Structure 1
Amino acid sequence: MTGHVFTIAGGKGGVGKTTTAVNVGVAMQDAGYDVVIVDADLGMANLAAMLEIDYDTSLHEVLAERAAISDTLTEGPGGVTLVPGEQSLEAFADADPAKLRKVIKTLSNAYDVVLIDTGAGLSHEATVPLGLADSVLLVTTPDSVAIGDAGKTAQLAKRVDGEVIGAILTRAEAQEEIDEVEREVAHPLLAVIPEDSEATTNEPLVLNFPDSPAAEAYRRLATALERILNGEPVDTIVEEETEWFPSGDEVDESEDDEDDSGGGVLGLFGG
């Protein structure tokens, strides 16, 4: 039985795709799954740099047929395995995205979960991972451009036979933002990651700041993905996992309560 391949995608850069891949990967590894995270952002790879991890061989070298995928496997935080990418233009020019299919097939035969971190935009190298996934996850911030680009990514995934199972809203601060994403993105909202200053540094958050609201949200997302691995319907998962979203009335009450140590909406997102 092969592992499940999740592609983490979104048309706009900087929405938190890599952060999501890292935190979900570590949480699922902690839950007992053997997880590998692939930095398939061929133009602007940043997985190794974000985690401050040194590596010997990159995915780019494999896609240029100068190395084997086994040469790239690098130990990451929390026991996850990483397949890092390079940041140089020369490496990007030599890498053939078409060869990514064989890489992912090899990894899915060796790991329970393969998380593909993708690049921004609608280029060929960003499109290939959409067609390789068992499940595509859309990542967006509340920014209207990011939401629109997530929708375009979903349309593109459909064209290459990728199955989008849901969306992830990052940097959320208000219920209105959640409502807008639910209106504009025609897929279930699997997780809401609250705006959290700790989430921008010291990754992975689930290890370094485990009690933060964002870390809790990533763990909830990982649990939802585990249930998808077990064949549960996405609609059931969303119904149960979104009960912790703040309602408009709860948001207004928290903003008026000076003694609320949860910090308004941010505190409510923590459950």
Structure 2
Amino acid sequence: MSGRVFAVASGKGGVGKTTTAVNVAAAMAEADRSVVLVDYDLGMANVGQVLDVEAADATLHDVLAGDAKPLDAVASVPSGFDVVVGGTAIEDFGRADPSKLRGVADALRSEYDVTIVDTGGGLSHDTTVPLGLADETVLVSTRQAAALENTAKTRDLVERVGGSVTGLVVTRVSGSDVADDDEVAALDVKILGSIPEDSTVADSERAGEPLVAFAPESPAGQSYRELGYELLGESPPLSFRDGDGDAEPGAAMAEMMTEDVEGTESRSLLSRVTGGLLGSNGKD
């Protein structure tokens, strides 16, 4: 087996990169894929702080230092996927060799359908490694002008190291965004999804669960689920909205698309999926 490797990257910290990586992993696991999430923020590893992770025999830093094998650092989370967490001591950063990440990725490819690498925020020599070895890189940014400017630099870096950008995820979308759609469009990358501002994101991280499991009907939870399935090239099952676990995947989506035909209030699909935060036609 040779699995796919996704890098999740951003030009700066604080834009929801790790939250995106965690929830994409959870959504793909829900889609019956074997998934491992690698916390590759060598300086500020934090996946273990937002997920309830069982302790492994080693950390990613141990592996990159040559003191452990890649599978020794694999731990499980209750949400159905595995993680490789990084060390949190300052000494760990100094002994990790970023060039060994390719060997880690190769080992995980042979064991999992999908490997997701949560890269460090910003641009540095360390962050270029996963961008070059991943099959696809997912860019994450808010719509603020500074974040988009840094995202453009990250896009350019991916291309320079021979990687491939599969698209952009725009996070924390609300009416108070600084940048407009023209600035997002100027990046000239496919928009994979828009994640609405949602207070349940912080609640899920405090609970140590991915949002798609903690609050599956929340606006951001639904958007992250759609993103995970989009990256797999599949349609997400939204039957949980009706409590019908046996419904065919996409049945609830089809129902929402035909609501206006049945005489209910006509709203765009995007408006319904995001709880009215996006795609409103003025009748909400």
Shorter-chain TM-score category?
A: 0.7 to 0.9
Tell me the equivalent position of 1:131.
132
| 2:114 alignment counterpart | 113
Residue deviations 1:169-216 (CA, integer Å, cap 9, x gap): 000014975614532322010000000011123231000101100000
In the TM superposition, what are the counterparts of 1:162-177 in structure 2 within 5 Å? 162-174=163-175
Alignment-mate amino acid for residue 189 of structure 2: H
Matched residues, number: 240
> What is the SS of the residue equivalent to 2:6?
strand
Q: How does 1:1-271 map to 2 (within 5 A)?
A: 1-56=1-56, 57-174=58-175, 179-202=181-204, 203-227=209-233, 264-265=276-277
Verify the 8 A CA contact 2:61 2:93 in the aligned structure 1.
yes
Cα distance 1:266–1:186, how it changes in 2: closer, same or farther (>3 A)? closer
Q: Compute the displacement of 1:41 (Å).
A: 0.6
Superposed CA RMSD: 2.3
CA contact (8 A) 1:27 1:206 kept: yes
5+ long unaligned stretches in structure 2: 235-256, 258-266
Counting aligned pairs with the same residue, the percent is 46
Instruction: Report which of the two has the higher share of helix.
Output: 1
Residues 35 and 113, structure 1, Cα contact 8 Å, conserved in 2: yes
Q: SS of the counterpart of 1:153?
A: helix
SS across alignment from 2:14: coil
- 2: CA distance, partners of 1:148 / 1:174: 20
Q: Distance in 2 between matches of 1:181 and 1:216?
A: 25
Question: In the TM superposition, what is the alpha-carbon distance from 1:122 to its structure 2 partner?
Answer: 1.1
Structure 1 stretches lacking a partner, 5+ long: 229-243, 245-249, 255-259
TM superposition score normalised by structure 2: 0.79
Give the superposition deviation at 1:140.
0.1
Compute the displacement of 1:267 (Å).
8.8
Corresponding residue for residue 243 of structure 2: none
Q: Say if 1:15 and 1:170, in contact at 8 Å, map to a contact too.
A: yes
Q: Which has the larger radius of gyration?
A: 2
CA distance in 2, matches of 1:263, 1:27: 19
* CA distance in structure 2 between the aligned counterparts of 1:16 and 1:34, rounded to whole angstroms: 23
2:137 and 2:166 in contact (8 A); partners too: yes
Q: Is the 2:52–2:77 contact (alpha carbons within 8 Å) kept by the matching residues of 1?
A: no
Of 208-217 and 173-182, deviating more is: 173-182
